[in-house]
């Protein structure tokens, strides 16, 4: 059976945990001596570099807000997703699972939402810009550099408005002489856990009877309730009286599995040719059938230094991904059915025929066709899962080739051509015994959707670096860049196939059901950029950049704009008064101001193009025609973000304590938005520049090397992020909100705007309830304006739709050959509209399963004990009350705060003396547990994806992995 939900840990307890970790780290650090031979020297710190876009700088010379994540950190959690691998590792970066379903991936937001259309950062993988990096194998990634502030991201101009993540894959540049072989393999078992507690058969039966009580206590008798079911649902009554309770969890859920296998070959020859070749296989099986993903990756990187003047290289990454998504309604239907219903057919005596599925358990019949249960038309979830197919097949690849000419020691020219392609096919097929089949009166249906993308980027850059005397270091980058992307799409559909053909014979469907469409679009971006870096005596730092972008998707006269930035740095630790300080190892102040942008609209948006097919009557003939769906906006222009950032980098006690603190103020204006229009206009919507949004926050990163000795090392890392997101203005003013488009001034983007649920009207409040047109047992609303009535003016913003603060804690301990590490992430102060509770806490739905909950029961004559509960209204349609306020969803907002232990890993590395005879350089075995604990008040599936669509929402799981890593 699934593990019971581990929940409801108090805030007081969470604070104790945090204090304990902080105290432990401090005490251990204070007690441990500092052996000089084990501490990284400041010289080694200087050697570290940071990728800042079209180049790199020494870590000590960085003036912007940039975080680097190395390959060791990325590989440590042994996940199939690159974003999950770095979750919680960087302050200011919010990463969450989208749904919990295999293949649905993770989303990243840097420093808060700053766009109404989308706030995903720009990913640049080996020079190829893209929207996501789910296709990559985490073990192919050499490093990620996250450019968070506008000064750092301004070199990417129009595409850096939501931050930039530069992903560098492993190439031959770091390969050692000779041949090196690395092999990693692991296998893990995934089990559902922390499952919400649902009603038992007896609990649901009581709920069901209360929902059917009449309004008058005089007619509320046990006999009256029993008569409601005895004729059309005798089996349900028999099961209720017998204490029957079917476990739908056990019937639907199964253990999943996760596999990860990786082989890497690298080397360098004497003639300057270096290579890196890798092949990876990853498999992730979900918790129900037809929920899985397989990913195959091939990676090749080559670099060649031809001579002192010329060098060249290439990187190629190809991925084949097959994702089984099953039905978008599979999990939705899996737990909707009452525990008094089962998936099995029955015989003439009402006994279950286990193994023989019955398609509509809520419409169960005896073999002769008479009713056994007549309650709900929810399909059998086992039939929905077995007869639904959504298979996404993706081929995705990126490649780049560069040629560099070192004309002088201080002057170089580099040209890079990078290209990417994505071929995606989503095939869906639904049998007769599915939700889709029910909607089509028992017909089968199939569809194929294809999307093919091709893009290229051609960058030409000139780098000049020179030192004048011993004090003045200059570097200048000049860049010309051209980007091109095109999409080709097609869609075909039919239904009524005579037999199960899957997606491979759409032509066998009924011709009148055929649907066919196709599309094409392209986008280009031309850019010119320059960046100047200057350092005086290594103490006073200046970075200035500008980028001039021209986008094809914006209107004439608005296509080109400029994105400048400037940043200053002061290395205080280099000053004479701190130069040989035994306490302060590194201290640097940073300040930056920069502008980035966004042209986040589809091609042709500013033109009145014909994109909606319609038909006109020409006498007796039907004539096909076209019309425009959206009102064209010829004045649509760039979103532009101004960001001011102040930062402090520090290192103490020979860098035993290091970290950064950043404070930022980001204002994004001219936000592009798909604005809904009144039907009277004749258009559905238009894209407009509607307003501005502010993001202000603070970020903290702290790393402490608590113990460093020959046999024992202990390192901890803390991150803290607080971001305040606020819609500042719309339509040129800051007083009146646009409620219809959910643009609420003074609130975050996409706020929870609704009535405030204030409990349940009690029987003692009958007279007061009547003044509002309501009765005891109905949902109570807060009369916010005090006018003695409930109406739309009583709506307000409920909680915060984004976390008020986030944090993480990472610990790594090495003792001899053993290593132990764990990581914790937390989101606090976030309120979401829970789709889980909208289904399973909906008291107006009388026929389906519910979460184990308390609810109002009136005084009655049916022998059911009254319950003056104030948490949930009285079951039944009357719970909606006057104006159907309950139907607005006001009762389904939940606090989704959580503390989650992301992984716990224990490994053992064999000593070299044992491996030398086997010709093995390194061998480590380990056990790793993913998501073992969650502390939360949220009682749905998982707080991390609490707001995801209900049909694809998934229960939480724990994955236990066993693996080994060998190097030859």
Q: Kindly report the average pLDDT of the chain as a whole number.
A: 88
Average pLDDT (268-273) is 84
Query: Using one digit for the tens of pLDDT, what is the confidence trace for 492-519?
Result: 999 999 999 899 999 999 999 999 999 9
Query: Using one digit for the tens of pLDDT, what is the confidence trace for 526-565?
Result: 999 999 999 999 899 999 999 999 999 988 888 999 999 9
The pLDDT value recorded for residue 622 is 80
The pLDDT value recorded for residue 594 is 95
- Kindly state the tokens that stand for 164: 């930039």
Cβ count within 10 A of residue 770: 12
The pLDDT value recorded for residue 949 is 87
pLDDT above 70 (res 46): no
In sequence order, the 6+-apart residues with CB closer than 8 A to the CB of 272 are 304, 305, 306
Cβ count within 10 A of residue 151: 31
Average pLDDT (287-315) is 93
Average pLDDT (252-279) is 92
* Better-scored residue on pLDDT, 227 or 872: 872
Distance CA 185, CA 504 (A): 36
Distance CA 781, CA 441 (A): 41
Query: Using one digit for the tens of pLDDT, what is the confidence trace for 313-364?
Result: 999 999 999 999 988 888 888 888 999 999 999 999 999 999 999 999 999 9
The answer to whether 173 and 303 are in contact (CB under 8 A) is yes
Distance CA 125, CA 141 (A): 9
pLDDT band at 216 (very low <50, low <70, confident <90, very high): low
Average pLDDT (629-635) is 85
pLDDT above 60 (res 36): no
Average pLDDT (444-448) is 96
Distance CA 968, CA 711 (A): 24
Distance CA 17, CA 807 (A): 13
The pLDDT value recorded for residue 862 is 83
- Tell whether pTM > 0.85: yes
pLDDT above 50 (res 911): yes
Distance CA 755, CA 795 (A): 4
DSSP category for residue 835: H
DSSP 108-144: EEESS---SS--PPEEEETTEEES--TTS-GGGEEEE
The pLDDT value recorded for residue 329 is 85
Query: Using one digit for the tens of pLDDT, what is the confidence trace for 697-732?
Result: 999 999 999 999 989 999 999 999 999 999 999 998
The answer to whether 156 and 121 are in contact (CB under 8 A) is no
The answer to whether 449 and 425 are in contact (CB under 8 A) is yes
* Better-scored residue on pLDDT, 148 or 103: 148
The pLDDT value recorded for residue 952 is 86
- Kindly state the tokens that stand for 109: 């937001």
pLDDT above 60 (res 199): yes
| Percent of the chain at pLDDT exceeding 90 | 67
| Percent of the chain at pLDDT exceeding 70 | 93
- Judged by DSSP in three states, 770 sits in helix
The answer to whether 919 and 968 are in contact (CB under 8 A) is yes
The pLDDT value recorded for residue 90 is 93
The pLDDT value recorded for residue 217 is 65
Cβ count within 10 A of residue 704: 21
pLDDT above 90 (res 243): yes
DSSP 248-289: HHHHH---EEEEEEEEEEEEE-TTSEEEEEEEEEEEEE-SST
Q: What sign for the dihedral angle of Cα 198, 880, 332, 226?
A: positive
The pLDDT value recorded for residue 215 is 65
Distance CA 426, CA 68 (A): 35
What counts of helices (H) and strands (E) characterise the chain? 15, 44
Distance CA 137, CA 476 (A): 34
The pLDDT value recorded for residue 840 is 94
pLDDT above 70 (res 7): no
The pLDDT value recorded for residue 926 is 96
pLDDT above 90 (res 101): no
The pLDDT value recorded for residue 884 is 61
Distance CA 851, CA 195 (A): 11
- Judged by DSSP in three states, 148 sits in coil
Average pLDDT (183-203) is 95
Average pLDDT (937-959) is 91
pLDDT band at 881 (very low <50, low <70, confident <90, very high): low
The pLDDT value recorded for residue 788 is 84
The pLDDT value recorded for residue 47 is 57
């Amino acid at each position: 059976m699934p593990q019971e939900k581990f929940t409801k840990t108090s805030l007081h307890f969470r604070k104790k945990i945090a204090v304990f970790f902080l105290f432990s780290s401090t005490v251990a650090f204070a007690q441990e001596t500092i052996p000089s031979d084990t501490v990284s020297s400041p010289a080694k710190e200087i050697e570290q570099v940071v990728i800042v876009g079209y180049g790199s700088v020494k870590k000590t010379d960085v003036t912007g807000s940039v975080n680097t994540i190395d390959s060791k950190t990325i590989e440590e959690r042994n996940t199939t997703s690159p974003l999950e691998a770095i979750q919680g590792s960087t302050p200011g970066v919010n990463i969450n699972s989208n749904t919990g379903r295999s293949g649905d991936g993770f989303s990243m937001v840097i420093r808060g939402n700053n766009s109404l259309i989308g706030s995903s950062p720009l990913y640049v993988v080996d020079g190829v810009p893209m929207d996501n990096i789910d296709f990559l194998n985490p073990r192919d990634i050499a490093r990620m550099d996250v450019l968070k502030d506008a000064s750092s991201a301004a070199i990417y101009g129009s595409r850096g408005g939501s931050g930039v993540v530069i992903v560098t894959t492993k190439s031959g540049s770091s390969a050692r002489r000779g041949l090196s072989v690395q092999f990693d393999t692991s296998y893990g078992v995934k089990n559902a856990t922390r499952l919400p507690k649902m009603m038992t058969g007896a609990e649901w039966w009581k709920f069901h009877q209360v929902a059917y009580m009449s309004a008058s206590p005089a007619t509320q008798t046990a006999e009256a309730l029993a008569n409601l079911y005895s004729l059309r649902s005798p089996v349900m009554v028999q099961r209720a009286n017998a204490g029957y309770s079917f476990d739908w969890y056990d019937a639907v859920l199964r253990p999943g599995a996760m596999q990860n296998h990786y082989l890497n070959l690298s080397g360098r020859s004497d003639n300057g040719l270096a290579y890196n070749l890798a092949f990876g296989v990853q498999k992730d099986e979900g918790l129900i059938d037809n929920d899985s993903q397989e990913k195959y990756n091939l990676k090749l990187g080559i670099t060649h230094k031809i001579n002192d003047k010329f060098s060249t290289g290439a990187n190629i990454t190809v991925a084949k991904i097959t994702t089984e998504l099953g039905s978008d309604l599979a999990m939705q239907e899996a737990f909707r059915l009452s525990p008094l219903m089962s998936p099995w057919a029955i015989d003439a005596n009402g006994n279950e025929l286990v193994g023989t599925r019955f398609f509509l358990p809520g419409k169960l019949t005896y073999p002769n066709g008479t009713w056994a249960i007549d309650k709900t038309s929810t399909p059998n979830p086992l039939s929905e899962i077995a007869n639904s197919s959504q298979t996404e097949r993706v081929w995705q690849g990126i490649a780049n080739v560069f040629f560099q000419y070192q004309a002088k020691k201080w002057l170089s020219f580099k040209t890079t051509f990078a290209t990417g392609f994505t071929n995606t096919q989503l095939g869906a097929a639904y049998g007769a015994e599915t939700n889709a089949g029910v909607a089509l009166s028992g017909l089968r249906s199939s569809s194929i959707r294809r999307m093919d993308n091709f893009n290229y980027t051609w960058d030409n850059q000139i780098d000049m670096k020179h030192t004048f005397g011993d004090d003045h270091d200059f570097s200048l980058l000049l860049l010309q860049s051209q980007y091109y992307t095109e999409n080709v799409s097609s869609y075909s559909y039919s239904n009524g196939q005579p037999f199960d053909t899957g997606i491979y014979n759409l032509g066998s469907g009924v011709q009148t059901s055929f649907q066919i469409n196709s599309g094409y679009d392209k986008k280009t971006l031309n850019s010119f950029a320059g960046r100047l870096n200057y350092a005086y005596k290594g103490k006073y730092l200046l970075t200035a950049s500008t980028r001039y972008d021209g986008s094809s998707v914006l209107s004439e006269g608005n296509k080109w704009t400029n994105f400048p930035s400037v940043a200053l740095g002061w290395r205080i630790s280099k000053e004479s008064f701190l130069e040989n300080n035994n306490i302060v190892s590194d201290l640097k102040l940073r300040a930056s101001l920069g502008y980035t942008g966004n042209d986040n609209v589809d091609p042709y948006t500013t033109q009145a193009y014909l994109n909606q097919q319609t038909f006109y009557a020409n006498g007796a003939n039907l004539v096909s025609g076209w019309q425009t769906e959206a009102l064209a906006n010829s004045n649509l222009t760039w979103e532009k973000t101004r960001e001011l950032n102040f930062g402090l980098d520090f290192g103490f006690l020979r860098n035993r304590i290091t970290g950064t603190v950043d404070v930022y103020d980001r204002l994004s204006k001219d936000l592009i938005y798909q604005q809904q229009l009144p039907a009277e206009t004749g258009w559905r919507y238009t894209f407009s520049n509607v307003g501005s949004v502010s993001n202000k926050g603070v970020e903290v990163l702290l790393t402490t090397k608590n113990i460093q000795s020959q046999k024992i090392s202990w390192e901890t890392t803390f991150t803290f992020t607080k971001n305040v997101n606020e819609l500042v203005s719309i339509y040129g003013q800051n007083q009146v909100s646009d409620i219809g488009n959910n643009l609420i001034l003074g609130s975050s983007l996409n706020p929870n705007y609704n009535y405030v649920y204030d409990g349940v009207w009690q029987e003692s409040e009958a007279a007061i309830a009547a003044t509002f047109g309501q009765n005891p047992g109905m949902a109570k609303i807060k009369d916010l304006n005090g006018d003695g009535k409930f109406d739309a003016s009583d709506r307000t913003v409920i909680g915060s739709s984004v976390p008020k603060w986030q944090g993480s804690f990472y610990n790594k301990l090495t003792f001899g050959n053993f290593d132990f590490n764990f990581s914790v992430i937390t989101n606090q102060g976030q309120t979401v509209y829970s789709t889980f509770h909208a289904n399973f806490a909906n008291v107006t739905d009388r026929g389906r399963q519910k979460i184990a909950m308390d609810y109002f029961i009136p005084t009655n004559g049916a022998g059911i004990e009254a319950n003056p509960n104030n948490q949930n209204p009285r079951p039944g349609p009357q719970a909606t009350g006057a104006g159907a306020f309950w139907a607005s969803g006001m009762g389904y907002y939940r606090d989704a705060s959580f503390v989650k232990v992301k992984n716990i890993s224990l490994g053992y590395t064999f000593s070299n003396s044992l491996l030398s005879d086997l010709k093995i350089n390194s061998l480590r075995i380990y056990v790793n547990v993913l998501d073992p604990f969650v502390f939360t008040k949220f009682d749905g599936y998982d707080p991390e994806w609490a707001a995801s669509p209900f049909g694809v929402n998934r229960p939480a799981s724990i994955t236990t992995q066993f693996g080994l890593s060998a190097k030859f």
